[in-house]
Amino acid sequence: MTTTPAIELTGLTKSYGDHAVLSGVDLSVAPGTVLALLGANGSGKTTTVKILSTLLRTDGGTATVHGHDVATAHGEVRASISLTGQFAAVDEVLTGRENLVLVAKLRHLDDAGGIADELLARFELADAAGRRVATWSGGMRRRLDIAMSLIGDPPVLFLDEPTTGLDPQSRIEVWATVRELVGQGTTVLLTTQYLDEAEHLADRIAILHEGRIIAEGTLAELQQLLPPAEVEYVEKQPTLEDVFLAIVGHDGSSEQEADR
């Protein structure tokens, strides 16, 4: 596996008017891994994803995705990535198979039908392929959304709060899908407000607070930032939630603005 980072940010800054959202973000994501980007509302998570996916220009600093500069190589970056937002971007009037065929044709790929059938089988959606997506469950729609994002085999996938609003079983289905993708070499940048999701999926975790990365490492490394608690004489390791709240504080004073 190459040692060149799949995603690299150096001194990234972004402001809206006189409000600084990013104040010098440094971050590196190794290929074929999951990095979970955690932060309260307004911390800059979505802004970071928008910059990396060329939807928003940075004010300063540099960012590369799959070796391409997001400021000067828009086309190369977009060819290397796919983005799945907080809500499934599927057409509910179409069937599952029609959604996939449509995206394959928009990407000018040969054998759109074959690509659709392969993805339906891969994501265990073949039995529902001919049904309108409006009849599908939330978990099935999210899996279809991720399947659509993989058409063209992008090496880097941005998942911006992918399980928002899903029931527990649907969340588990999405987690299994993400693990499979990473096992096949896809690099994933995951933003989430569910700390258990980061614990289950992430190889490394970064905490974004007031526009800066204030902690980054594996779950075990972050747990070392807090001493273990003793409950009835049994040593208890701090959870990721304990670490997150201890680092960013409990008062929520910096959460007044919604994440942009």
DSSP reduced 3-state for 255: coil
Among candidate residues 34, 27, 39, the one with its CA nearest the CA of residue 194: 39
> Rounded to an integer, what distance in angstroms lies between the CA atom of residue 24 and that of residue 60?
8
Question: What are the pLDDT tens digits along the chain (260 aa)?
Answer: 457 899 999 999 999 999 999 999 999 999 999 999 999 888 899 999 999 999 999 999 999 999 999 999 999 999 999 998 777 789 999 999 999 999 999 989 999 999 999 999 988 899 999 999 999 988 889 889 888 988 988 999 999 888 877 778 778 888 888 898 899 899 999 998 888 899 999 999 999 999 999 999 999 999 888 877 666 666 777 888 888 888 887 654 444 444 55
DSSP characters over 6-72: SEEEEEEEEEETTEEEEEEEEEEE-TT-EEEEE--TTSSHHHHHHHHTTSS--SEEEEEETTEETTT
Q: Provide the pLDDT for residue 61.
A: 97
Domain residue extents for the chain = 7-248
DSSP reduced 3-state for 181: helix
Q: Which residues contact 111 (CB under 8 A, 6 or more apart)?
A: none
Q: Provide the pLDDT for residue 229.
A: 65
Among candidate residues 175, 210, 201, 248, the one with its CA nearest the CA of residue 20: 210
Among candidate residues 67, 82, 76, 74, the one with its CA nearest the CA of residue 8: 67
Q: Provide the pLDDT for residue 234.
A: 65
> Rounded to an integer, what distance in angstroms lies between the CA atom of residue 146 and that of residue 171?
13
Q: Provide the pLDDT for residue 33.
A: 96
Architecture of domain 7-248: 3-Layer(aba) Sandwich (3.40)
Instruction: Map tokens 């995705």 to a residue.
Output: 65
> Rounded to an integer, what distance in angstroms lies between the CA atom of residue 45 and that of residue 49?
6
- pLDDT tens-digit series, residues 177-232: 889 889 989 999 999 888 889 999 999 999 999 999 999 999 999 988 887 766 66
Among candidate residues 202, 228, 201, the one with its CA nearest the CA of residue 215: 202
Q: Provide the pLDDT for residue 241.
A: 82
Q: Provide the pLDDT for residue 254.
A: 44
Helix (H) or strand (E) run with residue 159 in it: strand 156-160
Cβ(88)–Cβ(142) below 8 Å:
yes
> Rounded to an integer, what distance in angstroms lies between the CA atom of residue 149 and that of residue 102?
12
Q: Provide the pLDDT for residue 255.
A: 44
The secondary structure of residue 127, as a DSSP letter, is: G
Tokens of 187: 């690099």
pTM, full prediction:
0.80
The secondary structure of residue 95, as a DSSP letter, is: B
From first CA to last CA, the distance across the chain in angstroms is 34
